[in-house]
Amino acid sequence: MRRVHALAACATALPAALLAGCSGRANDLSTYYDDPAAVSSAPPSTSTAAPATSTTPPGPAPAELVAEAALTQADLVEEGVTPVGAPASSLAIALPDCAINLGAGADAGLTAQWRYARGSVLRQYVVHTPEQSGVTAAVEAARDALDCRSFTVSGTRFLIDDGFTLDEVDGADRQLSWCAGANTRVSCTVVLASGDLLTAVSVESTTTKAARDAITRVAPVAATALGRARA
């Protein structure tokens, strides 16, 4: 009977002794799994991402914008006009009306001309300036120049008729319109600006009604061409 009690006592004491013998540190479960050998000794990464670079392509050149804003045969199909030569690139863009200079400050420009079957003439002038303020200045300079009240072309004296005003044309930031008449000729002109582009269209005819009607039809077409260039 004493032998059984002795074995039981040994069995009770054995686990504690083994646990004590397997550990060289206190029996603390919060640090039991912190094995120093498991911690990586590799140095932290020092690589950095390369700085982002802009990939935005450059915008169209001024000459390309001017060309896009030019009226085409397809644009004017309802007018039944025929081109007189090819559009000409030029920075010397001036209207005969009071010697209005639209090319001041421009870095690109062109002129074009068409003829109606009955002899009327349609002209277009397009300019681009490096800043929008240049186009705004050109429109205001044209408005001021019309104070001349009259001008002479090839010996014929024209009188400014600022009583003609077009309704607001969609797609234009600024606009200006007027007519000028002589004994046998009348011209009506509209100037439209959008951003850094400006277009002026004039129709010269033998009657006031023909010139006014034509410029009223063509003005929104010219504004659409400006929008095409801005798209």
pLDDT class of 32 with cuts at 50, 70, 90 = very low
Residue 20 sits in the same domain as residue 112: no
Q: How far apart are the first and last CA of the chain?
A: 107
120 in any annotated domain: yes
| 197 located within any domain | yes
Q: pTM of the prediction?
A: 0.75
DSSP string, 58-83: P---HHHHHHHHS--TTTTGGGT-EE
> Are 88 and 175 contained in the same domain?
yes
Domain identity same for 24 and 92: no
Q: Are residues 24 and 132 in the same domain?
A: no
**Are residues 156 and 81 part of one domain?**
yes
Same structural domain for residues 25 and 92? no
Of the pLDDT bands very low, low, confident and very high (cuts 50, 70, 90), residue 66 is very high
- Within a domain: 35: no
The structural domain count of the chain equals: 2
pLDDT at 28 over 50: no
- Residues 21, 105 share a domain: no
Per-residue pLDDT tens for 130-162? 999 999 999 999 999 999 999 999 999 999 998
Same domain as 117, residue 169: yes
Token pair in block for residue 220: 């929104």
Model pLDDT, residue 38? 46
Q: Does 39 reside within a domain? A: no
pLDDT at 56: 63
Q: What integer pLDDT is reported at residue 119 of this predicted model?
A: 95
Do 11 and 95 belong together in one domain?
Answer: no
46 within domain boundaries? no
Residue 56 included in any domain: no
Please give the average per-residue pLDDT across 180-192, as a whole number: 96
Residues 158 and 200 in one domain: yes
Same domain, 139 and 191: yes
For the cut 60, the answer to whether the pLDDT of residue 36 exceeds it is no
Tell me if 36 is assigned to some domain: no
Write out the residue range of the structural domain in which residue 213 sits.
Answer: 62-230
| CATH number of domain containing 212 | 3.40.1000.70
Give the chain's mean pLDDT: 84
How would you label 202-229 residue by residue, b for 16+ Cβ within 10 Å and e otherwise?
bbbbeeeebbbebbbebbbbbbebbbeb
- Residue 163 pLDDT > 70, yes or no? yes
